[in-house]
Amino acid sequence: MIRKINKKGQVMIYVIIAIVLAGSLLLFFFLDREPRTTIDERESNPQSYIEKCVRKHVDDAVNIILPQGGFLEPTNFRLYNNIKVDYLCQNKGNYASCINQHPMLLNEIENDLIPYLNPKIEQCFSELRTELEKRNADIELTNQEIDLDFAFNRVYLKVNRKMTIRERGNTQIIDGFDVQIISPLYDLVNVAVEIANQEAKYCYFEYVGYQVLYPNFDIRKFAFSEGTKIYTIKDKYSDKEMNIAIRSCAIPPGI
């Protein structure tokens, strides 16, 4: 009787060890996998590859412009934490309210991003072409044009370009690429413009009350002694932050 119990116990131990080893191997396999664009993906789904490549470049561009007041290369800025923060509303004198420098900020962002993104998206197609041609596929591309649009929690980018792939007697035609990127850019810019408008009109923005009405935003203000205020607007859902500089109704130091 004792020998039978021991054998059953040994079998159970072996089963448990086998399950643990199998689970460890599966866990290692999934943890070791990193999201990356592979050659196989380029070959099997060119459209998905282009969309993923475009999405990455848009995300990178948004991450550049948000801390800088909405611009890739600010020209009229105040340094804040070693970041060039563009003035959205400014009066270089004292006491007078500021003048809105960028009342059509979203349009300016669009005009700034399109020439920045265009060559990067062109590179996406170039890399795809190189990989597909390695397997003797024939690829035709028309000229590239891109359109940008912004909406609540979204950036929409359309690549107006026809791509034709011929391989082994099969032809695949893609007439264009519509890419949707989850981003708070539109929402943060609207808050920034509202701050600039209020500062231009009242020399003040009631950011505490604004957060009560719109709890998805966290707004902070830092004031320099010379009169510049830096507003940092944070989207709580994404943790993305936008900085803007304001100088309105400034009072000279010592008064």
pLDDT of residue 16: 53
Could you read off the pLDDT of 53-63 as tens digits, one per residue?
A: 999 999 999 99
The closest of 54, 39, 48, 43 to 165, measured between CA atoms, is 43
pLDDT of residue 10: 43
User: pTM for this structure?
Assistant: 0.80
Residue type at position 248? S
- In a domain? residue 10: no
Both tokens of 131, joined, read 């990989």
H/E/C letters for each residue in 8-19?
HHHHHHHHHHHH
- In a domain? residue 32: no
Could you read off the pLDDT of 19-29 as tens digits, one per residue?
A: 555 555 445 44
**Nearest 10 degrees: CA dihedral of 225, 231, 234, 235?**
170
- In a domain? residue 255: no
- The parent domain of residue 144 ranges over 39-247
The closest of 120, 165, 115, 111 to 138, measured between CA atoms, is 165
pLDDT of residue 96: 95
Q: What is the mean pLDDT of each run of 10 residues along the chain (255 residues)?
A: 42 49 49 44 76 98 98 98 98 94 97 98 95 90 96 97 91 94 98 98 96 97 96 98 97 74
Please state the domain count of the chain: 1
pLDDT of residue 167: 87
CB-CB neighbours of 231 under 10 Å: 23
- In a domain? residue 18: no
- In a domain? residue 108: yes
- In a domain? residue 177: yes
- In a domain? residue 154: yes
- In a domain? residue 97: yes
Both tokens of 87, joined, read 């003035």
